[in-house]
Amino acid sequence: MEIEPNTDSWLEDTRTSYDIVATSYADQVRNLLDETWAGFLSLWPRLHVSGLTG
């Protein structure tokens, strides 16, 4: 007799786990793109002046 895995339970557990942490992850990365671009844009003139951009 072959036992089929219960994927419904696994999927529900995964969804529940994701839902629990989704808000805190969103809070952690909400401004990440803005901060990354701000850092890059502030660095760009220094790279250009030093000749690293071509």
Identity of the amino acid at 42: S
The mean pLDDT value for 3-31 works out to: 85
Q: What is the pTM of this model?
A: 0.40
Determine how many CB atoms are found less than 10 A away from the CB of residue 14: 10
The mean pLDDT value for 30-54 works out to: 74
On average, the pLDDT of the chain sits at: 79
Tally the residues of the chain. Answer: 54
- Confidence at 30, pLDDT banded by 50, 70, 90: confident
Contact of 53 with 47, CB cutoff 8 Å: yes
The mean pLDDT value for 18-23 works out to: 91
Residue 4 has pLDDT above 70, yes or no: no
